[in-house]
């Protein structure tokens, strides 16, 4: 299968490209499946060839040629610098502070970047039971910074989480430090509408960039709290033809 | 010394109603054949322990084998929900399921503690989350040397640990390679243990990275393709299409019951098409 190269970028492609651009060359990146994994591999194929990908299944330095369906796909092990046990991944590598960037998705996020992946509704009689914590709580605790990726909607951007699975900036200000969490917390939320970053003092997430064709009004309408908007909202540069070429080749499992 | 048994014999002897069972394998080497044998033998009131329940526990839960699930991530990896798990939790079908929920790091620490013969594991985690309020198995502890507040989680000591591996030799020494997950810890934490293998060989392959010595295992059983639809590195790869098709098979009780009947030859009471 040859990747289609001339179609305009989809929303998912824009999110993935934006996430990839956030990753500096050489960072150690703890990734999950889906857009985070694709973004990290796109970065590795473009501006960040020395990025190190760590998967919670134990693969360190994995270099998959196509997006894995599961976090333990054989190709991750086959292309890794080393494969270690799951206890080792979470202790020597994550807990000890050797991960620069962790990626998380969420069913719900609040204004301080706390996330819920456990349950919608009451814990004991849930409206929707979600998969649960996985590696997220300790990624949130110990990664140097956390990138959150999710679609922007009132169902997701809620005033109060139904369940706090992983801590962002807790109740804002310096409350994260007071909890004694060593990692830096979430530094960016990338949505299908734009990019949000925490206020340096209050730690409330603020809209700082919009993707092509999206508006501040759309972002506010898709957020349950009164979304703060930066004085200057930048425009996301559309994915370049180079970025799209690499991304589509990656998704198609081709060498680019 | 591990005894080399038929899978049905090993399950009959080692797995009893009411046992706590850890069947591990992190995406790789998931002991599906053993799981389906437990369904076939109609085991009841099990406490199922596993970081990622995956399809294997969706099958056991849907078949009514489990009273309780201890876990950290209950999804169909790369696909979506575990429908039998959700049906049990939200609608008590086929009966109510108690849960004890942790994070991956917490579960890993619990297995390491169990394998080490310690009463609890310690980690820097859970702080500020709602997980601790849902379980009495997450407690704060103060480091006696630095005063740092950390989290203690109790050791897992399952009645039975079950894993799948590529190979065993004729004496029952087990060797595996590729993603090693938390299999070694699960076996060493358990009172009794069963390892299913792809094949029995004269000499373990040089690619082996984890060896479990025969004297640390209760039984070995040969189960070729026993990890399908997960995979056995260098034997067969993950059947991603099966994981995708499980979404359809498991979504409705009737299609799941039909699957149970055809794949396990077993229609437990209350689980009918």
* CATH code, B254: 3.40.1080.10
Local structure of A214: helix, strand or coil:
coil
Q: Does some domain include residue B75?
A: yes
Average pLDDT over residues A222-239: 98
Domains in chain A: ranges and CATH: 11-251 (3.40.1080.10)
Q: Do B105 and A138 touch (CB under 8 A)?
A: yes
For chain A, give the percent of residues with pLDDT over 90: 85
Write down the ipTM of this complex. 0.95
Q: Do A165 and B130 touch (CB under 8 A)?
A: yes
Average pLDDT over residues B48-74: 97
Picking from B121, B154, B187, the residue at the C-terminal end of a domain is B154
Instruction: Tell me the pLDDT band of B272, cut-offs 50, 70 and 90.
Output: low
* Together in a domain, B67 and B167: yes
* Together in a domain, B164 and B225: yes
B contacts of A71 (beta carbons < 8 Å): 27, 77
A contacts of B111 (beta carbons < 8 Å): 87
* Together in a domain, B245 and B122: no
B contacts of A170 (beta carbons < 8 Å): 128
* Together in a domain, B185 and B229: yes
Q: Residue A1 pLDDT more than 60? A: no
Q: Give the pLDDT score at B29.
A: 98
DSSP letter, residue B149 = E
Q: CA of B149, closest CA in chain A: separation in Å?
A: 8
* Together in a domain, B218 and B190: yes
User: Which of A32, A65, A69, A72 is the best mutation test for B, with the most CBs of B within 10 A?
Assistant: A72
Average pLDDT over residues A170-189: 97
User: Which of A33, A68, A87 is the best mutation test for B, with the most CBs of B within 10 A?
Assistant: A87
Count of residues making up chain A: 256
Instruction: Note if A177 is an active site residue.
Output: no
**CA nearest neighbour of B35 among B272, B226, B239:** B226
Which of B112, B126, B230 has its CB closest to that of A87? B112
User: Which pTM does this prediction carry?
Assistant: 0.96
Q: Give the pLDDT score at B60.
A: 98
Q: Do B179 and A77 touch (CB under 8 A)?
A: yes
Q: Do A133 and B131 touch (CB under 8 A)?
A: yes
SS3 of B214-247: the string is HHHCCEEEECCCCCCCCEECCCECCCHHHHHHHH
What is the C-alpha to C-alpha distance for residues A129 and A119, in angstroms, rounded to an integer?
A: 5
Average pLDDT over residues A38-50: 95
**CA nearest neighbour of A143 among A151, A133, A152, A135:** A135
The number of domains in chain B is 2
Q: Does some domain include residue B171?
A: yes
Q: Does some domain include residue B172?
A: yes
Which of B129, B148, B180 has its CB closest to that of A85? B180
CA distances from B128 to A96, A156, B104, B148 (A): 19, 20, 16, 15
Q: CA of A187, closest CA in chain B: separation in Å?
A: 18
Q: Does some domain include residue B270?
A: no
Q: CA of B31, closest CA in chain A: separation in Å?
A: 15
Which of B27, B128, B179 has its CB closest to that of A167? B128
DSSP letter, residue B199 = E
Average pLDDT over residues B81-86: 96
Options A13, A56, A204, A243, the catalytic residue: A56
Domain span at B150 = 104-154
Instruction: Tell me the pLDDT band of B34, cut-offs 50, 70 and 90.
Output: very high
**CA nearest neighbour of B56 among B87, B89, B34:** B34
Q: Do A73 and B128 touch (CB under 8 A)?
A: no
Which of A86, A141, A142 has its CB closest to that of B104? A86
Q: Does some domain include residue B187?
A: yes
What is the C-alpha to C-alpha distance for residues A95 and A30, in angstroms, rounded to an integer?
A: 12
Q: Can you name the residues that pair with A53 across neighbouring β-strands? A: A29
Q: Does some domain include residue B271?
A: no
B contacts of A163 (beta carbons < 8 Å): 130
A contacts of B149 (beta carbons < 8 Å): 180
Q: Give the pLDDT score at A64.
A: 87
* Together in a domain, B129 and B171: no
C-beta separation of B4 from B217 below 8 A: no
Q: Do A72 and B104 touch (CB under 8 A)?
A: no
* Together in a domain, B194 and B110: no
Q: Do B185 and A90 touch (CB under 8 A)?
A: no
Q: Does some domain include residue B189?
A: yes
* Together in a domain, B142 and B164: no
Q: Residue B273 pLDDT more than 60? A: no
* Together in a domain, B93 and B186: yes
B89-143 pLDDT tens trace: 999 999 999 999 999 999 999 999 999 999 999 999 999 999 999 999 999 999 9
10 Å CB burial of residue B142 (0-12, 13-18, 19+) is exposed
Whether the upstream peptide bond of residue B229 has omega within 30° of 0, thus cis, is yes
Q: Give the pLDDT score at A5.
A: 63
Picking from B154, B187, B218, the residue at the C-terminal end of a domain is B154
Q: Does some domain include residue B132?
A: yes
What is the C-alpha to C-alpha distance for residues A90 and B107, in angstroms, rounded to an integer?
A: 10
Q: Give the pLDDT score at B202.
A: 98
* Together in a domain, B51 and B108: no
Whether the upstream peptide bond of residue B30 has omega within 30° of 0, thus cis, is no
* Together in a domain, B149 and B73: no
Count of residues making up chain B: 273
Helices B54-62, B240-251: axis angle to 10 degrees equals 30
Q: Give the pLDDT score at A10.
A: 95
Print burial letters for B9-26: b (CB count within 10 Å at least 16), e (below 16): ebbeebbeeebbbbbbbb
Q: CA of B9, closest CA in chain A: separation in Å?
A: 30
Torsions phi, psi of B115, nearest 5? -65, -25
Instruction: Tell me the pLDDT band of B257, cut-offs 50, 70 and 90.
Output: very high
Q: Residue B271 pLDDT more than 70? A: no
CB pairs under 8 A between A and B: 170
Q: Can you name the residues that pair with B231 across neighbouring β-strands? A: B28
Q: Give the pLDDT score at B194.
A: 98
Picking from B132, B154, B176, the residue at the C-terminal end of a domain is B154
Q: Give the pLDDT score at A225.
A: 98
* Together in a domain, B29 and B73: yes
């Amino acid at each position: 299968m040859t990747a289609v190269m001339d179609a305009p970028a989809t929303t998912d492609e824009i999110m993935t490209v934006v996430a990839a651009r956030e990753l500096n060359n050489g960072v150690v990146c703890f990734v999950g499946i889906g857009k985070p994994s694709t973004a990290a591999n796109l970065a590795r194929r473009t501006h960040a060839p020395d990025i190190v990908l760590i998967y919670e299944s134990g693969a360190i330095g994995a270099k998959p040629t196509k997006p894995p369906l599961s976090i333990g796909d054989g190709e991750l092990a086959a292309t890794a610098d080393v494969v270690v046990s799951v206890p080792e991944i979470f202790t020597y590598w994550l807990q000890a502070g050797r991960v620069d960037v962790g990626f998380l998705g969420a069913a719900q996020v609040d204004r301080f970047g706390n996330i819920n992946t456990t349950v919608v509704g009451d814990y004991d009689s849930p409206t929707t039971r979600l998969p649960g914590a996985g590696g997220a709580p300790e990624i949130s605790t110990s990664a140097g910074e956390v990138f959150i990726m999710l679609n922007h909607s009132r169902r997701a951007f809620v005033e109060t989480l139904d369940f706090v699975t992983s801590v962002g900036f807790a109740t804002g200000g310096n409350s994260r430090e007071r909890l004694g969490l060593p990692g830096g917390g979430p530094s960016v939320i990338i949505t299908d509408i734009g990019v949000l970053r925490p206020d340096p003092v209050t730690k409330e997430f603020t809209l700082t960039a919009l993707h092509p064709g999206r508006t501040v009004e759309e972002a506010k309408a898709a957020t349950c709290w009164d979304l703060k908007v930066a004085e200057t909202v930048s425009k996301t540069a559309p994915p370049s033809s180079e970025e799209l070429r690499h991304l589509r080749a990656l998704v198609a499992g081709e060498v680019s | 010394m591990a005894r080399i048994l038929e899978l049905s014999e090993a399950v009959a002897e080692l797995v009893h109603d009411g046992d706590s069972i850890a069947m591990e394998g992190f995406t790789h080497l998931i002991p599906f054949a053993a799981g389906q044998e437990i369904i076939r033998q109609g085991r009841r009131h099990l406490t199922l322990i596993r970081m990622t329940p995956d399809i294997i526990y969706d099958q056991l839960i849907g078949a009514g084998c489990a009273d309780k699930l201890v876990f950290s991530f209950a999804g169909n990896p790369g696909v979506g929900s575990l429908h039998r798990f959700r049906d049990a939790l939200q609608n008590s079908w086929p009966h109510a399921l108690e849960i004890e929920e942790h994070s991956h790091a917490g579960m890993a620490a619990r297995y390491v503690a169990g394998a080490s013969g310690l009463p609890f594991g310690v980690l820097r985690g859970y702080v500020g989350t709602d997980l601790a309020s849902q379980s009495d198995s997450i407690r704060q502890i103060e480091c006696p040397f630095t005063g740092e507040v950390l989290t203690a989680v109790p050791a897992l000591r399952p009645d039975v640990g079950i894993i799948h591996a590529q190979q065993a030799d004729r004496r029952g020494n087990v060797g595996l390679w590729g993603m090693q997950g938390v299999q070694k810890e699960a076996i060493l934490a358990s009172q009794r243990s069963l390892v299913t293998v792809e094949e029995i060989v004269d000499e373990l392959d040089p690619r082996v990275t984890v060896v479990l010595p025969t004297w640390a295992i209760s039984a070995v059983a040969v189960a070729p393709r026993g990890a399908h639809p997960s995979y056995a590195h260098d034997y067969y790869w993950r059947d991603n299409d099966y994981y995708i098709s499980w979404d359809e098979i498991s979504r409705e009780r009737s299609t799941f019951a039909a699957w149970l009947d055809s794949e396990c030859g077993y229609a437990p009471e209350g689980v009918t098409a």
